């Protein structure tokens, strides 16, 4: 990647220290892997993976401000709309394709997951668990859930396809997706007991069914 000043590297490590999902994703990625990060935002995750795992990678992003931030951060970014699929990326051309907290904001949910598995040997998907107890409680009390992972009001949310961990498990089963690992976290801590109730962020690593 383009050389960036040492300061920028420090920035990614610091930002990542607070992002348990970053460190969890990093654990799933082999050093030097070729990574595609869909909906890469300002490139923080890729920057973190570059600094800690020496990955080679590209981000995909549609938002102008995020594309500019990626360029500033020295991250390779391709500006395109994920809803249109991943035309332009060859089959099996990446070790890992990541969709980090973007799935719930996409219309073409099935298509993007299929595209991830076409382009990547492995895929990592993370999403906010709508089944988290705080979300359920807010619904019982009569309001749409608002939380750290769902920070929007019903009228300004970009999220269109929210799901629970149980829903996504079913999705994988119905689409013949072999889940290799699943990690559920809340406030940076791994949740083992009743993850669909107690987990706020779900992370999946999967590949095509053998």
- Smallest gap from residue 66 Cβ to another protein (A): 11
Minimum CB distance to another protein smaller for 39 or for 145: 39
Task: Give me the residues that bind another protein (CB under 8 A), please.
Answer: 1-4, 34, 56, 58, 64, 67-68, 70-72, 74-80, 88-90, 93
**Distant-in-sequence, close-in-space partners of 119: CB < 8 Å, separation ≥ 6:** 36, 86, 89, 90, 91, 92, 93, 94, 97
d(CA 71, CA 67): 6
- Smallest gap from residue 71 Cβ to another protein (A): 4
Minimum CB distance to another protein smaller for 78 or for 198: 78
- Smallest gap from residue 5 Cβ to another protein (A): 8
174 to each of 81, 100, 110, 162, how far by Cα in Å? 26, 22, 11, 17
Q: Estimate to the nearest angstrom the gap between the alpha carbon of 31 and the chain centroid.
A: 19
**Strand pairing report for 201-208 and 189-190:** unpaired
Helix or strand (DSSP H, E) at 158: none
Minimum CB distance to another protein smaller for 71 or for 197: 71
- Smallest gap from residue 67 Cβ to another protein (A): 6
Minimum CB distance to another protein smaller for 89 or for 127: 89
């Amino acid at each position: 990647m383009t050389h960036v000043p040492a300061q920028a590297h420090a920035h990614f490590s610091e930002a990542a220290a607070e992002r348990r999902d970053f460190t969890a994703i990093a654990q799933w990625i082999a050093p030097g892997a070729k990574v595609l990060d869909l909906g890469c935002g300002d490139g923080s995750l890729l920057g973190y993976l570059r600094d800690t795992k020496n990955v080679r990678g590209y981000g995909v992003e549609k938002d102008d401000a995020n594309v500019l931030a990626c360029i500033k951060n020295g991250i390779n970014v391709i500006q395109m709309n994920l809803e249109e699929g991943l035309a332009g990326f060859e089959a099996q051309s990446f070790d890992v394709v990541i969709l980090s907290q973007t799935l719930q904001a996409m219309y073409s949910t099935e298509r993007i997951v299929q595209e991830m598995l076409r382009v990547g040997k492995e895929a990592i998907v993370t999403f906010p668990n709508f089944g988290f107890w705080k979300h359920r409680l807010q619904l019982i009390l009569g309001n749409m859930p608002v939380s750290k992972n769902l920070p929007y009001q019903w009228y300004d949310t970009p999220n269109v396809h929210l799901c629970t961990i149980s829903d996504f498990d079913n999705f994988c089963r119905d689409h013949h997706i072999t889940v290799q690992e699943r990690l559920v976290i809340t406030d940076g801590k791994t949740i083992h007991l009743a993850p669909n109730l107690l987990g706020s962020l779900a992370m999946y690593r999967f590949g095509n069914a053998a």
